[in-house]
Amino acid sequence: MTEQQPPEEQAAPRPAAHRGPPVEVAAEVLDAQGERTAGALRLALRDMAIESGGRDDVPWVRVARENLTRAVDSCVRSPNLRVDMLHCLFAVDYEERIELNYALFSLGKGHKALLKVDLPPDEARADSLTGVWEAAAWYERETHDLFGVEFDGNPDLSPLILFEGFEGHPGLRSFPLHDYEEW
């Protein structure tokens, strides 16, 4: 046994409850940094933004599917935003629509923002960002695997994390959790 016994004097009295005071539920608002980012986003996207919101320091902006490449391009070029990294791509299946969230980071300026694109589930198709960021290739392949979203311009949408020949898109809400056949 290598563990030494606790010294006697360390056994200080402990507070009775280990739970702290109740907390206030914060509203969904942007903080100062988030406001700055949101302002820069508004400048960069102008009329492309359909809807916007955000929480803490991550504002989000919804753009139309056709405008995706143009919006990303202006985010990259905008002198105030200077997005330099595609942090991640999240897809959310809201059943009536599939929402793509592009997490755009600007490490130089410290901005973080989400770019949202809604896709109709029957024609889930978006432009690929592989020309802008190499990382987009794998994110898009994964999204293609799990949600069946087609990315126009991605040279290789072969299965990445599912095996070849897997049928269905397990990320979708309609995909059953249990009753599919094991291969």
Which region among 24-32, 38-46, 65-73, 118-126 touches other proteins (by CB under 8 A)? 24-32
Instruction: Name residues whose C-beta falls within 8 Å of residue 172's C-beta, 6 or more positions apart in sequence.
Output: 93, 146, 147, 148
* 135 close to 141: Cβ distance less than 8 angstroms: no
Residue 111 CB, shortest distance to other proteins, in Å, is 11
Applying the rule CB under 8 A, the residues between 62 and 81 that interact with other proteins are none
Q: Return the residue matching tokens 């990259």.
A: 76
Choose between 3 and 66: whose C-beta lies nearer to other proteins. 3
Applying the rule CB under 8 A, the residues between 107 and 146 that interact with other proteins are 107, 110, 112, 114, 133-135, 137-138, 146
Q: State yes or no: residue 11 binds other proteins (CB under 8 A).
A: yes
Applying the rule CB under 8 A, the residues between 27 and 56 that interact with other proteins are 27-28, 55-56
| Bridge partners, residue 88, by sequence | 103
**CA 22 – CA 42 distance, rounded (Å):** 37
- What length does the chain have? 183
Q: Is the dihedral of CA 131, 102, 122, 162 positive or negative?
A: positive
Choose between 47 and 158: whose C-beta lies nearer to other proteins. 158
Selected binder of other proteins within 39, 120, 159, 168 (CB under 8 A): 159
| Residue 53, CA distances (Å) to 35, 108, 142 in order | 10, 23, 27
Q: State yes or no: residue 168 binds other proteins (CB under 8 A).
A: no
Residue at 159: amino acid letter? P
Residues that bind other proteins (CB under 8 A): 2-3, 6-7, 10-12, 14-15, 17-28, 55-58, 84-88, 90-93, 101, 103, 107, 110, 112, 114, 133-135, 137-138, 146, 159-163, 170-171, 173, 175, 177
